[in-house]
A and B are shown apart, each in its own frame.
Chain A
Amino acid sequence: MNQLVVKGASLPGGETADLLVEDGLIREVGKVDAPKARVIEAGGLVALPGLVDLHTHLREPGREDAETVLTGSQAAAVGGYTAVFAMANTDPVTDTAEAAERILDLGRMAGLVDVHPIGAVTRGLAGEELAELGLMARSRARVRVFSDDGRCVSDARVMRRALEYVRTFGGVISQHAQDPDLAGPTACCHEGELSGRLGLPGWPGVAEEVIVARDVMLARHTGSRVHVAHVSTAGSVEVIRWAKAQGIDVTAEVTPHHLLLTTDLLSGYDPTFKVNPPLRPDEDVEVLREALADGTIDAVATDHAPHARHDKEHAFADAAFGMLGLETALPVVSTVMVATGRMSWADVARVMSTAPARIAGLAQEGSQGRPLEPGEPANLTLVDPAGELTVDRDASVSLSRNNPWHGRRLTGTVHATLLRGVPTVLEGKLQ
């Protein structure tokens, strides 16, 4: 009997219960008596549905020196994730059914999280012609989320066609909102007083906002839905809030780093803090936190972006964009939002599991982001709300070291992760 009991966990609803897990499913919730079962002591721990990341870069194929599907899966599992969506800006780009299936298979071989490849919106991410969206959707990878992330789908006509096209199979476009004329290829720092003083090419918030505004209007016009990746400005939040009030089908995500880190960190020109979209000032960070708490922003997504050391050890303007995020996402959200009382653990379950799973179509098909109830797949994450962590970048399981959290103290750690009843992480360590 491959039975496992999670004993004495706090469920998102508030009650304490045992969970009996067997053959990959939750069998019972409540007071469980199963003497032959393996036990995971969960007294004082919070049980969440397995976390789902809508936005991750696994770098394979093409940059296996920075990360592979295996090492990325390890980082995800350590971070409490049971499913991740891998962005398409690999080399070659994931713009065909074959490329998508390859990534699906790599994820299955690693066997630590469900890896769902994201398909490119346009061929080669060039922004001109639609990629084979339908073939990717019909492939074994069953691609539902499409994104040119790294680049913006800036041509309005192309974006309109893409939004119309994905309606046939319930797909969603995740837009990296960055108007290339307002924030061009050299833009690397929030445009404001600091960029003016430091002489760094600016990336004004309005470059994100004009695309968000355009895309919600296109979503309305096409009767389609659109997802805004890594929202970073107060202005974008305003537009999204208005759009939702109009009944427009828009969803949005925010990264852990945009919830806590601000642009002042750039004053030392440390490329560890170089990211796209850039870190913004306090005022924007505060609005993002409110928006996550009140549901205007639906989900937290890591935008985990590993980089080899030699791609970061350049002058700031020349260094690669991106930060690691999978292993620290839950501790950051816990420290910023739960420990301060802005969100409950039920809210965390919503923004880090059920909402992203629903946006990607996984909840509807029953595989992820499901309630912790009998009959549901046993994808769960056990969190120690009082666990203290001082981040050590060298202790990471990612292949890369571009970690903006190094040395920071965070509260709230992942104790265990179960993927369909099998522990992938116990006591914070990979199994």
Chain B
Amino acid sequence: MKHLLSIDDLGVDDIHTIFETAAEMHDVQHRSVKKLPALRGRTVINMFFEDSTRTRSSFEIAGKWLSADVINISGKGSSASKGESLRDTVLTVCAMGVDGLVIRHPASGAARQVSEWVDAVVVNAGDGMHEHPTQALLDAYTLQRRLGSLEGRHVAIVGDLTHSRVFRSNVKCLAKLGAEVTVVAPPTLMPAGVEAWSSAAGFATSYDVDEVLPKADAVMMLRVQRERMSGGYFPSPREYTVGYGLTRERLAMLQPEAPICHPGPMNRGLEIAPEAADAAASVVLDQVSAGVAVRMSVLYHLLAGEESA
């Protein structure tokens, strides 16, 4: 496996290997010397065409703790900036001698397209609405540490599915690990063609969050952007919270040990009540620390060994 562009690039064994290595990497976070020399001399560029302090700093720490040289570049790439094509932009950056390119871009498919243009190893840090594979890996890793094996566990994913790359990656990753996934959203926020897709891919869909939550072994709340409200997808934030938010009442409906995930940043009071965000069951902070360990594991497996074909 040369790149990590999508969860499709990983088999079940690959995911387990990444998790095992991540568990070892997790220990490094607690040492006084937070360094492993495995990627010494490798250069990794974080090329973010879309703002994200959280994911970018997670990748930056991951690379630096593995002793790689990490450089952050903000790309201004939108259809408005003509003249230099995306291809020219990434080739110019990689011409400096880059081993790994971690790329986040507002357009779906960008990571895949870039991987066809450059020699470097490409890690997709989020491409439009398409995928965010390291997020799904850290979510599943966090759930596995809380619940043990995910085989046969019911996981509910709730929120704006149409626009969510976290959902698209998670639904694939959890299915590979044997979990049973039900996704919940209002009809206007369900992706086009989801009926055909869900029956082929083996996940269930529902418009009724109250029916799904009590049966869930774990819940993943997705961020809802307020802009979607004005885009005509949903009448108002208040209606969304009452219909689909993880309110205090719904928190009580959950099984007591069921972990609550959120990829962040959270809209407290909109899709998740503060009580839920801060509940003992909330694993949001675990997700953040898992994120560094999982990204260290991914960077290690892609960049430390001999280059595959």
Contact = CB atoms under 8 A, between A and B. Distances in A.
Q: Do A's and B's CB atoms come within 8 Å in the complex? A: yes
Interface of A: 191-200, 202, 204, 268-271, 309-318
Contacts of A268: 112
B83 A310 contact: yes
A97 B85 CA distance: 36
Given A192-B193, A195-B193, A197-B168, A316 B109 contact: yes
Contact of A316 (B82, B108, B117, B196): B108
B113 A316 contact: yes
Interface in B90-138: 105-110, 112-113, 117, 127-131
A302 to B, nearest CB: 25
A198 to B, nearest CB: 6
Interface in B185-199: 191-194, 196-197
B168 A315 contact: no
A193 B192 contact: yes
Contact of B77 (A191, A197, A318): A318
Q: What range describes how many residues of B lie at the interface?
A: 20 to 34
Contacts of B88: 310, 313
B194 A196 contact: yes
A202 B192 contact: yes
B74 to A, nearest CB: 16
B255 interface: no
Given A199-B128, A311-B82, A314-B86, A269 B108 contact: yes
Contacts of B168: 197, 199
A391 B78 CA distance: 32
B79 interface: yes
Nearest to A309: B85
A377 B129 CA distance: 56
Interface of B is mostly: loop
Q: Which 5 A-B pairs have the closest CB atoms?
A: A193-B193, A269-B109, A199-B129, A315-B107, A196-B191
Given A192-B192, A315-B86, A316-B110, 12 more contacts: A196-B192, A196-B193, A199-B109, A270-B113, A311-B85, A313-B87, A314-B107, A315-B106, A316-B107, A316-B113, A318-B79, A318-B86
Given A202-B192, A315-B113, A316-B113, A197 B197 contact: yes
A198 B109 contact: yes
Contacts of A192: 192-193
Nearest to A268: B112
Nearest to B191: A196
A177 B79 CA distance: 23
A193 B128 CA distance: 17
Nearest to A195: B192
B3 interface: no
Interface string B187-225: 000011110110000000000000000000000000000
